[in-house]
A = this chain, B = another copy of it.
Amino acid sequence: MDDKIISLAHGSGGKLMHDLIKGLFLSKFDNPLLSNLSDSAILNIAGAKLAFTTDTYVVKPIFFPGGDIGKLAVCGTVNDLSVMGAKPLCLSCGLVIEEGFEYEMLEKVIDAMKVAACDAGIEIVTGDTKVVEKGKCDGLFINTSGVGVVEKKVLSLEDIQIGDKVIINGGIGEHGIAVLSAREDLGLDSNIESDCASLNGLVSKIINSSDKVRFMRDPTRGGLATTLNEIVDRKDFGIIIDEEKIPIKDYVKGTCELLGFDPLYIANEGKVVIVVAAEDASRVIDGMRGEPLGKDAEIIGEVVSQHKGKVCMKTLSGGTRIVDMLTGEQLPRIC
């Protein structure tokens, strides 16, 4: 690593973060479970396959249209388990609270966690609370770690085949734009709302509708572009996506144009990218569209033998461009 100081971009989900993870964490904590860089580690215990994952939430502000840090902390970790093909069972909750934080706000956040946990059908079973002096954290940070059990097969990047289809369950960029709208007084569309949601119900439906679901990942930090790049990284295939097919709400498109953001890099918190065998793609899409969280599902692309290790996009204007991994930091503290 050239930089000798940690910058915001090291937490962006983009290239610098990947460099930090590979250069420091993987080289020190060298083990096969960590090395595959999945959303969860898979543990073999007593003949069962358990998924285990962790995420710390530092979103700013704590409350935003469509959610808050509590809802996010439950949904985000539920989703990290779900996309491994695991049924989420329970979460831990580790709080770091700034001295002087209002009890009423804490209660609202805990209420939101409770509702989100109930909606997802999981329980919060263990916790920890730390308080630091005023000015030593930013209100409230929440870590949730989660345990789930894989009932069918573990989904893996290694199972992806050329010709597979790439699906997303709905519009991109809604979470990032919602947080941004709460942060800055931009006079944005009042319909803006984060897509923050637990996807375990939808994912379970998808897995049960096809035995040829190869891989899933939730495109959070770094957005859809980063997730697709993670899929092709050092692989012998590429992905080509079709801009026209990518679902995006008008207000997301409009806000991105206004501010010069590329929606492909904006965070989602209720979206899942699915790679599935071509012959099952229609069946999977049909099943998804019957679910509230999948009603806008689209086949957005395909795994191809060309463009090895790269993501390309057929643009609306008829050209093709490479979609790189995020390099800088577009929107810090989005989750």
Give residues in A with beta carbon < 8 Å to B: 1, 3-12, 17, 20-21, 24-25, 28-29, 31, 33-34, 40-41, 43, 45-48, 50, 52-58, 89-90, 92-104, 106-107, 110-111, 113-114, 117, 123-133, 135-138, 141, 143, 145, 147, 149, 332-333
Contact = CB atoms under 8 A, between A and B. Distances in A.
A145 B124 CA distance: 13
Contacts of A50: 45, 50, 147
26 contacts: A5-B100, A5-B101, A5-B103, A7-B100, A7-B131, A11-B131, A24-B106, A25-B127, A28-B111, A29-B110, A29-B114, A29-B117, A29-B123, A31-B125, A34-B125, A41-B126, A45-B46, A45-B89, A46-B46, A50-B147, A52-B90, A53-B126, A56-B96, A56-B130, A135-B135, A137-B141
B33 A90 contact: yes
Contact of A58 (B102, B104, B130, B332): B130
Contacts of A89: 43, 45
Contact of A127 (B11, B45, B54): B54
Contacts of A31: 123-125
Copies of this protein, total: 2
A131 B10 contact: yes
B46 A102 contact: no
Interface hub of A12, A33, A56, A128 (most chain B Cβ within 10 A): A128
Given A6-B103, A104-B4, A113-B28, A145 B11 contact: no
Contact of A40 (B97, B126, B137): B126
Given A47-B47, A130-B333, A133-B333, 20 more contacts: A5-B103, A6-B97, A6-B101, A6-B131, A8-B99, A8-B132, A11-B132, A17-B129, A24-B106, A34-B127, A45-B46, A48-B48, A52-B125, A53-B126, A54-B92, A54-B127, A54-B128, A58-B96, A137-B141, A143-B145
B54 A93 contact: yes
B6 A99 contact: yes
A255 B58 CA distance: 38
Given A8-B133, A117-B29, A143-B143, A46 B149 contact: yes
Contacts of A52: 90, 92, 125-126, 147
A1 B48 CA distance: 43
B11 A130 contact: yes
Nearest to A2: B103
Given A54-B128, A110-B24, A92 B145 contact: yes
**Closest 7 A/B residue pairs (Cβ):** A11-B131, A46-B48, A145-B145, A54-B92, A41-B125, A143-B143, A33-B125
Contact of A124 (B29, B93, B95): B29
